[in-house]
Structure 1
């Protein structure tokens, strides 16, 4: 079964949906291939027991570590991708993230483009995701051509009190930039949104934001349940001519003039590696041998700050962060990372992450705790990589910069105790936590050291683009979603001109 299109986009997450939105009014026939289905609204969508304890939405796909052990990576395969479950935090990378700089355990190489070059595309991305924020509150906020279009999501009373306590402790709490319609979210159920699936329009994820806007154009369509097996090129390997996919057990083929892969940093690398042929024996777009390499996955820790004398009465909680240690820790001089609230921790969520904890103890702790998410930059390393063996994804993550992350934990623990939280518990996450995977097809000007150009186009195959977190040269220390969206919208402008 053969089909045709002008542009084929593989993946409907942040990168794929943002690219479709950027191209939707071009008049070209755009087909999005998505391996997942639409996430339907069911009672489980707001049931913390079903989501966290029973793993109702968890994928059964296993990856293999280089130690031979298999694991469930925690990726989600639905229309909208992982953004269906994200915390809706849409930070811009900081100005300093685009320049080379020294870290405690190595160096970050910087970007081939500047923040100022990406700033107009950040603005377009914020508009389609309806990001709410207040740039004046955060000293690390980069320069902006215009303020946020919408005010920040309001702190609940319990969180307003935490903000005041943090101010007294000497840090600068600031409102998180959020893609949330809070009234719409709470109308469905009184829960947080962090790690809860979005089955409506309360969380502006990839589906509710750019994909919905793109699909309003008659020339844009999405084919769900379409698992792409490989890309085929012409005999010379100069152009991609078709994507081969399986839908409903039947192998199909679609041809187009332009192909964009946006399946996620791991799946995109795996697809291009699986597509190796005589002209590209190491995988498509891999003349540099950098495809699959430089994998990054943020160093992250969950922290519980507990005040036995003060109950946490919040519902959603996730409105606050501080970046005092982001660019330069006053003590060491090194960048350490971001500290932001998690969604409200319930007893069931706590029990899911600490199975040996008696349920009544989990409930007692949850009543008086505030969950924080600490993020530090993972540095690119060509030995940290994704490969494919016997059709299975093999992960070799070489963790880096952990001294900085441990310092961030220590500094944040001190802040919490100074703010009046006498009990502080931490848990550092490992490879099973998909903490913003990126870097496996990085962009750059030199075809010998990068996979795609600064317009996200393959150096080797003129009609092949990559528009997801694969292209990020560095991971910075904030959620990369807005940066991915900005780059994808920028790539759309380049495709139009081409």
Structure 2
């Protein structure tokens, strides 16, 4: 065991949307900061992928197996590296709706109220949008919450072949909007280029890669984390810090706390409530495809969002969810998990190869909120990370998919020259291995009996331990959690700056 001879003011574990944003926020304070990342530093991101990259799905998976509720192994689609999963995303950065912070009835149960409201996050949403250079347009989406400032950049325009679809949706009474997208000089902004790399340029910030944190050690009372144990390029190290921030992703953060048990925390660190690892949520995600008459590049950005059914319809008065175009299939990493959708098309169009199908298609992602369930949980047993998850709110998701089938047929009728009339619309539901939009395993709240963190995302039971990834969510939404994670990291950053003395 090697003991680092420095004592850090802050140790941040993980470099994704939460850890990367927090590092950028704290770097100007001059405090001594250590950032630990189990993966490597790569400067490329998913907008630079090629079609062959996307369908080599193994490169987007963790090297170690996780295990499902039946004990069967699977390799999750998750990224270990500086920037975390933001290196694979499409950069869509949407705010939660105002009602998402309230208690909302769903067909399958209640989405619980948050301890903070939209107004508490709004200034930090604005700060995050500026930091990540979000391109967007306010006022198009009737469900969008109020902004204190407009988006810092104008929206990304629809590809020419998509604009008629956008216009037709509007003419049919829907409210398509330009998706808010983080975009810089070299493609989509992410937690590496916007967070970690600028932060690491400060002399007070140290970044260590190939550093897998395996244990958090407390003092004898169990009230403080005194040392972080990590394997750095295979060698065991101990790092000392005054404040420790965990940001490994909702599943891995819970696993780290669970395996860091000791006499004072026999069920896992900060787990006196028994809530660590419980209430895992990860949205219901499906993709459906329209076949087009004309070819496209297969490598265009996501630009269209539809929230007309977010809160339901007259026929179904419960929330249904969010829809957005997939962007080019050849750049969409999630398509590496859904090759059957193109196989389904090939059955109906046997003369089309994979490339032809991908370049004659428009994909649509359909996202529905799942509800917290204490039996959907993360374990760490006998050296294995086990994820038990059973989907809920399924009928709401299915209704949204079927509703979108109707909309697609209506668009095709209005634009017969663009689409093959009567063509099938294959659907693919994302499997367990897709852990995109995971959240909820260390939820925050005011009552230590039913939450892990307080409203500043500090562990109730450990005075210097914070969690700033999506683990803190008490409820999910139908939009990506990324911007809320970033905004929360900036909010917690202000709290830590006060605690550190400026």
TM class, shorter-chain normalised?
over 0.9
1:25 to 23, 28, 36: 28
TM-score of the aligned structures, taking structure 1 as reference length: 0.92
- Please identify, of 45-54 and 323-332, the stretch whose mean Cα deviation from structure 2 is larger: 45-54
**TM-score, with length taken from structure 2:** 0.91
2:399 aligned partner: 407
Q: Does 1:239 align with 2:224?
A: yes
Mapped to 1, the partners of 2:331 and 2:121 lie a distance apart of 42
Give the alignment of 1:459-470 within 5 angstroms. Answer: 459-470=460-471
- SS of the aligned residue for 1:23 comes to helix
- Give, in whole Å, the separation in 1 of the partners of 2:140 and 2:3: 54
Which residue in 1 is equivalent to 2:487? 486
Q: SS at 1:121's partner residue?
A: helix
Does the Cα contact within 8 Å between 2:337 and 2:431 map onto a contact in 1?
Answer: no
- Residue in 1 aligned with 2:449? 448
State the shift of 1:352 in Å: 6.5
1:35 deviates by 0.2
Task: Tell me if the contact between 2:46 and 2:87 (Cα under 8 Å) persists in the aligned partners.
Answer: no
| 1:430 equivalent in alignment to 2:431 | yes
Match of 2:321 in 1: 337
The answer on 1:302 being equivalent to 2:291 is no
Q: Which whole-Å CA distance do the structure 2 matches of 1:392 and 1:436 have between them?
A: 22
2:362 to 360, 370, 377: 370
Please state how far the C-alpha of 1:51 moved relative to its aligned partner. Answer: 3.2
Question: How does 1:267-282 map onto structure 2 within 5 Å?
Answer: 267-282=252-267
SS of 1:158's equivalent? coil
Q: Root-mean-square deviation (CA), in Å?
A: 2.1
Give distance in 2, aligned partners of 1:330 and 1:152. 31
- In the TM superposition, residue 346 of structure 1 has moved relative to its aligned partner by 4.2
Aligned to 1:15: 18
Distance 1:214 1:304 in 2: 41
Counterpart pick for 2:59 among 46, 56, 60? 56
Aligned match for 1:386, one of 378, 398, 402: 378
Tell me, in whole angstroms, the C-alpha distance in 1 between the residues paired with 2:46 and 2:103.
48
Q: How far does residue 398 in structure 1 lie from its aligned partner after superposition? A: 2.4
1:90-489 matches, within 5 Å, as 90-181=93-184, 184=185, 201-307=186-292, 309-312=293-296, 315-346=299-330, 353-354=339-340, 360-420=352-412, 422-423=422-423, 424-489=425-490
Match of 2:392, SS state, is coil
Task: Report the count of equivalent residues.
Answer: 479
Shift of 1:434: 1.7
- Per-residue deviation, residues 5-56 of structure 1 (Å, max 9, x unmatched): 1100000111001111221121210000000001255999532213323633
How many Å separate the matches in 2 of 1:106 and 1:267? 27
SS in 1 for 2:162: helix
CA separation of 1:213 and 1:410: change in aligned 2, threshold 3 A: same
* Corresponding position: 1:69 with 2:72: yes
SS of 1:6's equivalent in the other structure is strand
CA contact (8 A) 1:9 1:20 kept: yes
Larger mean CA deviation between 391-400 and 41-50 belongs to 41-50
Q: 1:436 to 1:223 in 2, by over 3 A?
A: same
CA distance in 1, matches of 2:357, 2:223: 59
- Where does structure 2 lack aligned partners over 5 or more consecutive residues? 413-418
Match of 1:83 in 2: 86
Query: 1:393 aligns to what SS in structure 2?
Result: strand
